[in-house]
Each structure stands twice: as structure tokens, then as C-alpha cells.
């Protein structure tokens, strides 16, 4: 495909974080952009405000006349998360259009660029956003397709003046195998997406194939302890890694650490976002920046003013009486990293955790791991499972999960029950966690806590 010929684009599932980034990219490139999604969200509203046409009804009569027949000037992109019987997608297929996955289009866009790909079952959004920020803030520059909304730039796509591209390399549906990275980072490879891979061995095989796609002369940076190795290993502690953090401290709620790789030692780095797992992410980001020859002082400055990505350890309320943090964590290991950091930051406060499981299959596959890690909270408010693309599985529900959690204070609650309880109990430390529509709680909870 010659991307330079494209004049009009239709995105099916435009409201997804990755799809919306492509929508913004093509819109900024001068293309006319249209899209469909099943529900209106803050993100789709933002796209409309930016001049992108979005519909919310699976009605083929609403497809613009410009897409009556295939053309080299037309591009159709879809996300695998959409239902197979979606009428809009099927009409494009019937009309003879080639419909491309988001990952395939990312492959086209990165083909002639120096690409930094960040993969991993968790940690990839924050790490890719951190790398992109360091490159931007230091003046090195880059373009970027991110899997979250950068809090520094309030967008999920960045435009640079050079040929460097930072991209979140998604393992779901083997999407990252369209890339040819010059620098490939792998942050984790815990069992996940077993509805796609079947078992962890096939997931591992997919990551190995991703690393095989590093171009000749390129570099792979892999977290130590994974079932495969890269050119450079990293960790948040020394444990045999090539690059690692030392002297990790929490001072007035901020994380500080030293970075070590061989003879290189960068001292007293302040991280703009909290979390032990984010110290580890920062080690990966620093390693990439040093490979690119970025000045150490510029790296340190960028990390200090890094504000993370929306819904990644995001402070919503931070005051003397109440602290409320929202996080996208939806895998047991993500939850463990997040809750461990909460315990380190606020050891004296009672932790009230609100969690919405994501996918019936993930809940079934990791129910015992979820039960163990959710027991790290002092009090748990559990929401019903967010199904996303799945149909219900008999016997798999939040009541089943709740019964397995060894915690004295635990409840199964609706959204409204949660808001009413916050109003009545006024918890001092509260977190919301999950990848479904739990983000609907963020604004109402913030409003309640700020008015107490």
C-alpha cells in the first residue's frame, strides 16, 4: 500500500485508543476521516470536536457515498474487537474493499522509519509514553502512536520533524508482528490473551517472533527473567541485569533512584510518576535514550516532569483528607504491581479498592491469581465482569471470584451503590482498577470527594 495516496479513511471501532490515534494521524495528514463505534465516549466526542465524523449506529446507509467502490485513495481500518457480524464491515468486504487491521496500517506507517517498538503484556503503555516524552522533551524528537492518552501532551499520537517513530507494539492477536523495529523493548510476558493464544507457550513464541523482526543492526532490550533474552537486559534491581535501578527511595511521595549500566551511573533521578513498576519502566526508557545518544541531564529533566498516561497510576484527588488514584490494571500481575506501590506510598492508610474484572475468559483463566492479589486491599468493592467482545461463560461471574478472595471486608456492588457508599463512608484512600467502563466512576467519585 502507498499510504501517501490515501485521501479518505474509514475506521470501524474508531473509539478504541489505538484506532483513535490512527484517526488523528490521518486527519492531521489532510485526509477526510470517518468512523463507527457502538457507543459515544469522551474520546469519540473529542474526535468529533477535532473535525472527524463519527456514527454510533451499525447502519450501512450512513456510510458516505465516497466509499461506494474500492479506490487506491480509500483506506478501511478495523479493530479485531468488533463483532464478526457487524454490517458496516461486511458491506465494505462485499464491495470489494481490502479491510486492514490497525496493526497492519501501523506496519505500513513504520516501514520507512526508525522504529522503537515497546511490547509486553503489561507496562508497554507507560514505557512507550515515557520514551516518547524523553525524546520530545530532550529535543531529540519523534512521532508516536501510544496506547494511552499522554498526560503531558493530552493526546495518543505525537508528530515529530524527524524519521523516528515510537509505537506501542500490541501482542493481542499477534498485532506486533507487522513491525520491523530498530529498537525493540519487551517489558513482560505473563500469560494473557489465552482466548487468542491457547496457552502461555504460544504467547512466548509470539514474543520471540517479535524479537526476530528487529532489523539488522538493531537492538533488543528485554526485562530480565523472561523466557527469552535480548541484547540488553534490564530490571528494577541488580539481579544480574545489564541495566538496573539502585537506591530506590520514596521522599514526600516521589520516587528517586540511581540508574546503572556498565560504567554508566546516573544518580538521584526523580520520577514524575509513582510506583516501583514505573521505576523499572524508567530503566527501560533510559536505556533506549542512552542508545540514541541523548544527554544524561536531559534524560533526568524529562523523567522528572513526566506525568504518565491517563488511567496509569493517575492521581484524581490528592489532598490531606482524601487520595483517589485510577489505574488501568486488569491482569493479576498489573494489580500486584499497582497495589504493592500503593502499600509503599501509603503504609498507614486504609486502602479501599474498587475493581472491575475484564473478560469472562481472563477471569476464568486467572481466578485464583485475582483472588490472591485482590486480598492485598483492606476493603474490596467488586463490580460485575465487563464482557467486551465476549459472550458469558457459565459459572464465571464476579460472585464466584468474590467468594475466593480471603478478605473480611468485601462486597459485590453496582456503580450507583459504589457512589452512595463513598458519599456515606468517605474513604481516605481509594483506587479504581480495570480496563472496562469503570472509568465512568472517575468524574462522579472526584466530585463527591472534592465536595466532602
> What's the CATH code of the domain at 38?
3.40.50.720
Q: What's the whole-number mean pLDDT along residues 312-333?
A: 90
Q: Is the pLDDT of residue 195 over 80?
A: no
**177 and 295 assigned to the same domain:** yes
Mean pLDDT of the chain: 92
Single out the residue in 101, 126, 159 at which a domain terminates. 101
Share of the chain above pLDDT 90, in %: 72
Same domain, 280 and 198: yes
Same structural domain for residues 325 and 293? no
Burial class of residue 1, CB neighbours in 10 A (0-12, 13-18, 19+): middle
Angle of CA points 117, 81, 131, to nearest 5°: 20
Using the 8-state DSSP alphabet, how is residue 385 labeled?
Answer: P
Residues 190 and 244 in one domain: yes
- pLDDT higher than threshold 60 for residue 194: no
384 lies in the same domain as 260: no
User: Domain check: are 209 and 280 in the same one?
Assistant: yes
Helix, strand, coil tally for the chain in percent (to 5): 35, 25, 40
354 touches 383 (CB < 8 A): yes
Residue 231 lies in a domain: yes
Q: Is residue 107 part of a domain?
A: no
Residue 270 β-bridge partners: 256
pLDDT band at residue 173 using 50, 70 and 90 as cut-offs: low
Looking at the fold, whether 296 and 324 belong to one and the same domain comes out as no
pLDDT for 348 beyond 80:
yes
Q: Indicate left, alpha or beta for 27 from its phi (over 0: left) and psi (-120 to 50: alpha).
A: alpha
Helix, strand or coil for residue 94? Answer: helix
pTM for the whole thing?
0.81
Same domain flag for 171 and 264? yes
349, 311 Cβ separation under 8 angstroms: no
| pLDDT (0 to 100) of residue 432 | 97
Q: Are residues 55 and 159 in the same domain?
A: no
**Full domain range(s) for residue 235:** 113-304
What is the domain count for the chain? 3
pLDDT tier, 238 (very low <50, low <70, confident <90, very high otherwise): confident
Within a domain: residue 106? no
Give the end of a domain, one of 258, 278, 304: 304
Q: Whose CA is closest to 298, among 120, 138, 159?
A: 138
Say yes or no to pLDDT of 132 above 90.
yes
What confidence category does residue 192 fall into, taking pLDDT thresholds of 50, 70 and 90? low
Domain end point (choices 254, 281, 304): 304
Q: Is residue 309 part of a domain?
A: no
Dist CA 220 CA 236 (whole Å): 17
pLDDT number for residue 341: 87
Amino acid at each position: 500500500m502507498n499510504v501517501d495516496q490515501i485521501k479518505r479513511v474509514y475506521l470501524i471501532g474508531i473509539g478504541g485508543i489505538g484506532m483513535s490515534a490512527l484517526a488523528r494521524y490521518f486527519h492531521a495528514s489532510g485526509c477526510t476521516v470517518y468512523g463507527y463505534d457502538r457507543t459515544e465516549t469522551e474520546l469519540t466526542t473529542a474526535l468529533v470536536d477535532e473535525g472527524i465524523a463519527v456514527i454510533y449506529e451499525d447502519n450501512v446507509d450512513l456510510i458516505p457515498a465516497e466509499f461506494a467502490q474500492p479506490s487506491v485513495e480509500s483506506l478501511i481500518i478495523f479493530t479485531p474487537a468488533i463483532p464478526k457480524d457487524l454490517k458496516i464491515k461486511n458491506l465494505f468486504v462485499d464491495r470489494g474493499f481490502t479491510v486492514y487491521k490497525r496493526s497492519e496500517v501501523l506496519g505500513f506507517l513504520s516501514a520507512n522509519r526508525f522504529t522503537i517498538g515497546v511490547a509486553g503484556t503489561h507496562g508497554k503503555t507507560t514505557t512507550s509514553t515515557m520514551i516518547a516524552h524523553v525524546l520530545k522533551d530532550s529535543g531529540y524528537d519523534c512521532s508516536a502512536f501510544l496506547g494511552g492518552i499522554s498526560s503531558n501532551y493530552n493526546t495518543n499520537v505525537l508528530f515529530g520533524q524527524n524519521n523516528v517513530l515510537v509505537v506501542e507494539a500490541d501482542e493481542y492477536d499477534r498485532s506486533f508482528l507487522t513491525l520491523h523495529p530498530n529498537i525493540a523493548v519487551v517489558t513482560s510476558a505473563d500469560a494473557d490473551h489465552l482466548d487468542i493464544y491457547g496457552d502461555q507457550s504460544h504467547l512466548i513464541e509470539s514474543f520471540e517472533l517479535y524479537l526476530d523482526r528487529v532489523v539488522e543492526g538493531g537492538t533488543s532490550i528485554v526485562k530480565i527473567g523472561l523466557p527469552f533474552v535480548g541484547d540488553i537486559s534490564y530490571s528494577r534491581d541488580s539481579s544480574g541485569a545489564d541495566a538496573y535501578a539502585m537506591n530506590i527511595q520514596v521522599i514526600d511521595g516521589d520516587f528517586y533512584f540511581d540508574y546503572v549500566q556498565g560504567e554508566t551511573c546516573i544518580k538521584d533521578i526523580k520520577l514524575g510518576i509513582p510506583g516501583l513498576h514505573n521505576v523499572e519502566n524508567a530503566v527501560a526508557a533510559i536505556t533506549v535514550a542512552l542508545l540514541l545518544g541523548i544527554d544524561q541531564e536531559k534524560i533526568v529533566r524529562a523523567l522528572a516532569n513526566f506525568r504518565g498516561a491517563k488511567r496509569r497510576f493517575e492521581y484524581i484527588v490528592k489532598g490531606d483528607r482524601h487520595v483517589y488514584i485510577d489505574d488501568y490494571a486488569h491482569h493479576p500481575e498489573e494489580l500486584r504491581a499497582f497495589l504493592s506501590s500503593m502499600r509503599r506510598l501509603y503504609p498507614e492508610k486504609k486502602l479501599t479498592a474498587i475493581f472491575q474484572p475484564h473478560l469472562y475468559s481472563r477471569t476464568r483463566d486467572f481466578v485464583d491469581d485475582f483472588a490472591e492479589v485482590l486480598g492485598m486491599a483492606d476493603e474490596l468493592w467488586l463490580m460485575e465482569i465487563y464482557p467486551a467482545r465476549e459472550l458469558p461463560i457459565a459459572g464465571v461471574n464476579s460472585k464466584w471470584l468474590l467468594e475466593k478472595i480471603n478478605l473480611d471486608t468485601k462486597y459485590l456492588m453496582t456503580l450507583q451503590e459504589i457512589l452512595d457508599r463513598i458519599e456515606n463512608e468517605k474513604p481516605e484512600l481509594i483506587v479504581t482498577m480495570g480496563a472496562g467502563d469503570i472509568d465512568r466512576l472517575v468524574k462522579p467519585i472526584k466530585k463527591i470527594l472534592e465536595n466532602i
